[in-house]
Structure 1
Amino acid sequence: MSLAEELPLDTVAPSLFSILAGAFGGVGLFLLGMHLLTDGLKLAAGRALEELLQRSTSTPLKGLAAGMLITTLVQSSSAVTVASIGFVNTGLLSLGNALWVIFGSNVGTTMNAWLVAWLGFSFKIDAFALPFVGIGAATMLIARGQRPRSLGQALAGFGVLFLGIDVLKDTFSSFGAEMDIGQYVGQDLLGYLLLVGIGTLMTVLMQASGAVIAIVITAASGGLMSIEAACAMVIGTNIGTTFTAILSAVGATSNARRLAASHVFFNLITGAVALALLPLLIGFLGVLRDWLDQPASPAVTIAMFHTVFNVLGVLLMVPASGWLLRTLSRRFTSREEERARPRYLDANAATVPDLALRALRMELGRTQALAAACLQAASTRPAGEDAIREQREVLEALSHSIAEYAGRLNAAILPPTLVEELARSLRVLQYQENAVDGSLQAATLAPGLATVAAHLTAAESAFSQALAALSAAADPAAPAYAEERVEAALHTAEDAYARLKEALLVAGAHAQLSIPDMQQLLRHASLLRRAAEQTAKAARHLSALDAGIAPPRDEKPDGEPAEGAEPA
């Protein structure tokens, strides 16, 4: 008679195949359920969660609450992290507010451990989970609207998730009787670091910290590992979630990379503190568990540990957030950000009006170079639209700094002559912004323009060359930068524009171009001419300011257009 025949069925040692099958099957069911649950909740909510994230983050406390709430609702801190990075990337969410959303998402993700602890070990799981699967599947098949079907998907996912926990629990219960992981991992710092590394690696590979925590809880409940070992692995799951943020920040803006770095910083610091205080925290959890009248089960203890050390991390960030924000602001700077920082608008110079206006004129020289570069990029075929957009972002940032600087000067008591110079300086900035806007509009229109005949190509090329010459002449860094040279280049560009306009009208009249194509080409040329005019005006006025002479003749001394002059 075999050993299996002599022993009762439930005392037969599990085979390696049954252990592996149970472990992989349980994890697979959990991941499938988590995927269905998360996607279903996100689809059911539609844009409501994104709008909540965008609207409810005006203060650190609101950002923290929004991060906790949304992560609890969608059961995915990674989704909230990726959404936050996306909002920061597009400028819809400031870095300072997004920091607290990330911190809140780390606290919100602990609800997953509580679901496993409360529901996975307090009920007969299959009797609890199977109705959710049935109701959810029926809703998915019967419902007509997108939202009811998505809710059905979430319900089915919720049930499948707990079926996975049931499989894991049965597997680890039988396996834990045969082996204790403590025999292979030392109960010292090196052993705990190894467990943290295992938890991190599992989270990175599975891309679901909730699944790893469910495995850890069921393994600890089945006697496979001690509470201390399980808590060390839970610390690793927190660190592993940073991998998603790092991937999302690749190729993103500097602020998005800073936000990803803050996520890494939070989880590393929190994990290090939790590991250093591990025995103390577990002792504190025993006292807290008795006070809250919670059962002394491994599942509840691990869920409490996950929550407590993430809350501890948030408390650590309260005094450190200002330093963290300042430190991150100095890191991951892009070339555009470096260019967008004022070079000459020194706060000390602002106390001396003459020096302040000189610094302002020097900064306007930088913005003038940007306007000239945009005109150059717009006049080429194909137009450099991406380059213009980058230059425009830099100009917008510098314009904001210049406006703030001018506001500080306005607050001081200035002599009338300096007030006039300040007004003229701001007028130059307005011309430059108009020039860049016109260049961008022309570049955006360019890809849809029709191909023209050879005789029109010559006129188009002459106009482009004239614009290139003007952009070179209007750059303050040019060796022969002077008002007379700019005036001559503008006159040439105006003549080239007139010839191109006439050629396009003739081509349209003789059916060599369709009327819509002719109109689009004329609009494109007009936008370039407008950008050229504004660039030239800015250059002439900047040159006059540098020379300390009266404004050019197209304007009165007070900055208003002269009679008969074309308005700006």
Structure 2
Amino acid sequence: MKELIFGLIGGTALLMYGVDKMGEGLEKASGDMMKKILSVLTGKVWGAFLVGAFLTAIVQSSTAITILTVGFVNAGLMNLSQAVGIIYGANIGTTITAQLMAFSFKFKLTDIALPVLGVGFGIQNLSKNKKLQNIGQALMGFGMMFLGLKILNSGIPFLKESESLKYFFTQYASIPIVGILLGAFVTAMVHSSAATVGLVMVLAQAGLLDIQSAICIMLGDNIGTCLSAQLASLNGNINGRRTAWAHTFYNLFGVIITLVALPLFVKFVVIVTARIQPASDISAQIANSHTLFNLVNSLIFLPLTKYYVAFLNKVIRPKNDAHMNEVYLDKLLLDTPVAALKASRSETIRGTQIVKKMFIDVMNFIFTGDMKIMGQIADDEVVINQMQKDITTYIVELSKRELIETQSIMVPATINCINNIERIGDHVVDISELCKNKVDKNLQFTDVADNELREIENVIVEMFENVVIAIEYRDKESIKRVAELEDKADNLCATFEENHIKRLDDETCNVDSGVIYIDVISHLERIADYIYKTAMLAKDELYGEKRKDCSH
């Protein structure tokens, strides 16, 4: 019994550690390629499905791919349909580890565990090339995985003799729901579906599990693997959470359907295995059940993705205020500077849209005197101030990474952008204070003054619309239009100040109102200046080019 316990503990630890290190090494070795493919992913869900399967087959960690996908969706680099497609594919790609384990049982590949471990150790410690070191780590993990399986395999005779284990697995684990819960719990605890499948294979080899019981644990294993993505999405935006729930609902649906048709699915697995692997054992059936479950599930969902995404959009709704929740920054992206900088731009665009709303609100406050608007502006300013802090912290953290020259230019430009946005917010708040003073003193602007302010408002709103396009797409026409509108805003402000001074001289305007009007005009001119400065950053530095001519 002592040998059994020690063998189970040590073998399981080696199996789990090996799977983890193999996945980590492969992820590092292919990390740049993997993240680059994900960051430029475009097209339809079928393409995303194939990319998900391909990348997970290389990395051998659906959890890593799913978590990275959540991060890319949070950053706005990928839409929900693409993310769902990647999840479908990742669930299939990760089953290759189970197939390798089944293959090792049949062809005694566990005997090469120590040589592979030694080769991996040598490569990792003797090579100076970082990529080769990562490949060495992956080989060490591969060897540890097989060594763990070998140790567990050596305990099979002891497992067969254990009456208590036989009783537990025949009386309890054979109940489908218990098997599913057991698989979900173990996988959630060890964060490795492959390790759970390996343990199930060993138990089945010992005769403690029949194929139906093993399949039930495998089904639970697919539920347990959703935990990591859920945890990764907790601090993300609404689409990041939808991506995590897409993974969870997808697996839950597959488990429920398979459970309802369990006898048919078991028969299907046995027949398919007998056809493609005539001399196979129960390990091959377990590995094939894992692959077939995910393959059938993806074939059901792929044609229905449009409806599935609509369902997710309807069921997973934003919490509280949308401004506070649509956050694009994700620490998962910091090791991928191109993605992190894109996320920062997306967050800056969000900030621009918030200050645009603040600006429209404050102009409405000028014309209506509705004091409720002041509270809304104050709330939005809190969001903008926090956003400035968050983006600056994020960019400073990014600057500690190894960046290429263009990215080093983009780092301060991004900070300057959000600083401009925050200053616009400050000017809007100052205007709201002037409006409050106007309301408190029961002052009015003349109709002519109101019309002048509306004219400037229209120009600045158009500037906001164009600067958003400029930041997002580096659109030359939008940048040019912002420069033209800034000239127009300056001219209007100068003309309207002169007009107002004439009205004061003619005594057609109250002096107190006149002072407030002049101050408002001054703030509007500064707002237009900051929008222009932001557009000029989008022209060059925000996209990694040194500042050229900023005259207009």
Query: TM-score of the superposition, structure 2-length normalised?
Result: 0.64
Partner of 1:113: 98
- Indicate which of 511, 524, 531 corresponds to 2:527: 531
2:366 is aligned with 1:371: no
SS at match of 2:278: coil
CA deviations over 1:392-436 (Å, ceiling 9, x no partner): xxxxxxxxxxxxxxxxxxxxxxxxxxxxxxxxxxxxxxxxxxxxx
Aligned to 1:147: 131
For residue 66 of structure 1, what is the aligned residue in structure 2?
Answer: 51
| Alignment partner, residue 467 of structure 1 | 431
Max Rg structure: 1
Paired residue secondary structure (1:195): helix
Give per-residue Cα distances to partners, 1:213-240, cap 9 Å, x unaligned. Answer: 0000111012121111111101110010
CA gap 1:389/1:96 in 2 versus in 1, 3 angstroms: farther
- Shift of residue 267 of structure 1? 0.5
Q: What residue number does 1:442 align with?
A: 420
SS at match of 1:47: helix
Letter in structure 1 aligned against 2:210: S
Aligned to 2:233: 249
Distance, in Å, in 2 between the alignment partners of 1:190 and 1:270 is 20
Map 1:295-374 onto structure 2 (within 5 A): 295-334=279-318, 335=320, 337=322, 369-372=357-360
* AA of the residue aligned to 2:122: A
Deviation at 1:181, TM superposition (A): 5.3
| Alignment match of 1:263 (pick from 242, 247, 250) | 247
CA contact (8 A) 2:193 2:222 kept: yes
Give the match for residue 274 of structure 1: 258
TM-superposed deviation, 1:372: 4.7
Query: Per-residue deviation at 1:35?
Result: 2.0
CA distance in structure 1 between the aligned counterparts of 2:25 and 2:451, rounded to whole angstroms: 62
CA distance in 1, matches of 2:143, 2:173: 38
C-alpha displacement of 1:53: 2.2
Task: Give the deviation of 1:209 after TM superposition.
Answer: 0.8
Q: Against the structure 1 CA distance between its residues 340 and 162, is the aligned structure 2 distance closer, same or farther, given a 3 Å change threshold?
A: closer
Q: CA deviation at 1:148?
A: 1.1
Q: Which blocks of at least 5 consecutive residues in structure 1 are unaligned?
A: 1-14, 342-365, 391-436, 447-460, 499-524, 536-566
The 1:173–1:316 alpha-carbon spacing in structure 2 relative to 1, beyond 3 Å, is farther
Whole-Å separation in 1 of the counterparts to 2:122 and 2:526: 63
**Structure 1 residues 277 and 468, CA, compared in 2 at 3 Å: closer, same or farther?**
same
Structure 2: distance between partners of 1:124 and 1:161: 11
Aligned residue type for 1:370: M
Q: Share of identical aligned residues, percent? A: 25
Q: State the SS of the aligned residue for 1:252.
A: coil
Name the CA shift for 1:190/1:121 in 2 (closer, same or farther; >3 Å). closer
CA distance in 2, matches of 1:219, 1:340: 46
Deviations 1:470-504 (A, max 9, x none): 576999xx99797635868999xx89xx9xxxxxx
Stretch of structure 1 that moved more, 267-276 or 479-488: 479-488
CA offsets per residue over residues 287-334 of structure 1, 9 Å max, x none? 222321432301001011111111111122134322211111123333
Q: Is the 8 A contact 2:7 2:152 kept in 1?
A: yes
Bigger CA drift: 331-340 or 194-203?
A: 331-340
Note if 1:216 corresponds to 2:200: yes
Aligned length: 405
| Cα distance in structure 1, aligned partners of 2:131 and 2:160 | 43
Using the alignment, how far apart are the partners of 1:257 and 1:337 within structure 2? 14
Alignment partners' CA distance in 1, 2:309 and 2:453? 50
Separation in 2, partners of 1:222, 1:190: 15
- Residues 321 and 20 of structure 1, relative CA distance in 2, 3 Å threshold: same
Task: Quote the offset at 1:27 in angstroms.
Answer: 1.3
Match runs of 1:60-139 below 5 Å: 60-123=45-108, 125=110, 127-139=111-123
Unmatched segments (≥5 aa) in structure 2 = 327-353, 364-373, 391-414, 457-488, 498-520, 532-550
The one-letter code sitting in structure 2 at the alignment partner of 1:287 is I
- Corresponding residue number in structure 2 for 1:385: 385
Output the CA distance in 2 between the equivalents of 1:388 and 1:487: 32
CA distance in 2, matches of 1:319, 1:215: 34
Q: Distance in 1 between matches of 2:523 and 2:453?
A: 20
Q: CA RMSD in A?
A: 4.4
Q: Which structure has more RCO (C-alpha within 8 Å, separation ≥ 6)?
A: 2
Q: Is the 8 A contact 2:70 2:243 kept in 1?
A: yes
Give the letter for the 1:196 counterpart: I
Residue aligning to 1:28? 13
1:341-361 CA-partner distances (Å, limit 9, x unpaired): 9xxxxxxxxxxxxxxxxxxxx
CA contact (8 A) 1:22 1:168 kept: yes
Whether 1:233 and 2:217 are equivalent positions in the alignment is yes
- Distance of 1:80 and 1:467 partners within structure 2: 48
SS at match of 2:107: coil
Calculate the TM-score normalised by the size of structure 1: 0.62
1:58 partner SS: coil
Q: In the superposition, relative to structure 1, how do residues 42 and 253 fare at CA in structure 2: closer, same or farther (>3 Å)?
A: same
What is the Cα deviation at residue 382 of structure 1?
A: 9.6
